[in-house]
Amino acid sequence: MTDPLTIAIASDHAGLELKRHMIDAAEQWRVQLSDLGPADMTSVDYPDYAHLLAQGITRGTYRLGILVCGTGLGMSMAANRHPGVRAAVCTETFAARMARQHNNANVLCLGARVVGVGLAEDIVREFLAHDFEGGRHARRVDKIELPS
Ligand code: RB5
C-alpha cells in the first residue's frame, strides 16, 4: 500500500527530461516523488499518464501530483476530468502558491517547453511549501465541482 502522503509525478516524452530533473532535485529537499512513467523517451500520449496519476489522486493513493508535458496544457485538461482533481498549469511562482492556498490545487502541471529547469524547481518548491487556506476559499472551491 502506497503512503497516502506520497507525491506522484508523471510526464510524456516532452516532459521526461524535466521530470527526471525534478525527481533528483526533490531528493535533495528530502521529498520523494513517486515516478509513474514513462521511463524512456519513446513518444507517448500525454492523456494516458495524466489519467494514471489523476486516478491515484481520486482514490487517495497520492496526496499531490506533478504532471509534465510540453506545455502543461494537455496534462491539465485530461487530469481535470477526474473527480476531486484540481490541476493547475503554473509558469511562475505566485500562481503556484495561489493554486495551493486559494484553489486547493492537488496537481501541478508544468510545461517543459515553456519554463527552464531553474524556474520549474522554484515553482515546484512553492507549490509543495503551501497549504490550502480554507475559509471563504473552501466555499468557492466546492463550487468548482459540477452539481450532481
Ligand atoms: C507533445 O508533442 C505535446 O503536444 C505535449 O507534450 C503537450 O504539450 C500537450 O499539451
Please identify which of the residues 69, 82, 90, 109 carries the catalytic annotation: 69
46 Cβ closer than 6 Å to some ligand 1 atom:
yes
**Catalytic residue status for 102:** yes
14 Cβ closer than 6 Å to some ligand 1 atom:
yes
pTM beyond 0.85, yes or no: yes
| Pairing, β 64-69 against β 87-89 | unpaired
pLDDT tens digits in sequence order for the chain, 148 residues long? 445 469 999 999 999 999 999 999 999 999 999 999 999 999 999 999 999 999 999 999 999 999 999 999 999 999 999 999 999 999 999 999 999 999 999 999 999 999 999 999 999 999 999 999 999 999 999 999 887 7
**Catalytic residue status for 13:** no
Domains along the chain with CATH numbers: 4-142 (3.40.1400.10)
